[in-house]
Amino acid sequence: MLLLAPVLIFPAPAFSKEQEAGKSPARKPITVTSDSMEVDTKENLVTFKGNVEAIESFILCSDELYVRYDDAKQVSEIKAKGGVRIFQDGRIASSREAVFSNKDRTIVLTGEPQVKQCKDTVKGDKITIYVDQKNAVVESGGGGRVKAVIMPEKDCAGAAAEKVESEEARCKRPR
């Protein structure tokens, strides 16, 4: 019975029907808009600058975005810098930098990262968002600590209104 305790304490993450069937979840196209774009074919890198908005199964806004491709010309990594904001299912994440791994389907936020949902907020030194499982892990480092503010009353009406707001407006609002 002692061996089963970790399983009971740490429940398995929720998986989509595709993942339960052993298939990868259907991938959405990545749509990026910005003020400028530069392509470096030798480095398999596309650089977007100025008012960047990237849409996949989440919306990412930033000052700069670097999209790296693998040898098969598939997106392998997206790195965002400057005023990063990510919107997904009523959650808003912000940081100075973020790295999206297409293989792992994670977004790692660094540089004063925080995530807000309804009126609750969590902050740490590094936040890893598991995109398909809609879970996150918050870590501290260098003597820092994780801080969570959990409000007694959940007012998610504002979050529902933000979900309806257009993607374009999300990236253009003040930071």
Q: What is the 3-state secondary structure (H, E, C) of 48-72?
A: EEEEEEEECCCEEEEEEEEEEECCC
Beta-ladder partners of 64: 49, 81
18's enclosing H/E stretch is helix 17-20
54 vs 171 pLDDT, higher one: 54
At residue 144, does pLDDT exceed 80?
yes
157 vs 171 pLDDT, higher one: 171
pLDDT for res 95: 98
Distance in angstroms (rounded) separating the CA atoms of residues 112 and 92 = 14
151 vs 78 pLDDT, higher one: 78
pLDDT for res 165: 53
Distance in angstroms (rounded) separating the CA atoms of residues 172 and 174 = 7
At residue 175, does pLDDT exceed 70?
no
pLDDT in tens, 150-160: 988 876 765 44
| 136 close to 127: Cβ distance less than 8 angstroms | yes
The domain covering 29-165 belongs, at the CATH homologous superfamily level, to Lipopolysaccharide (LPS) transport protein A like domain (2.60.450.10)
pLDDT for res 26: 63
- What is the average per-residue pLDDT within 116-128? 93
pLDDT in tens, 27-74: 678 899 999 999 999 999 999 999 999 998 889 999 999 999 999 999
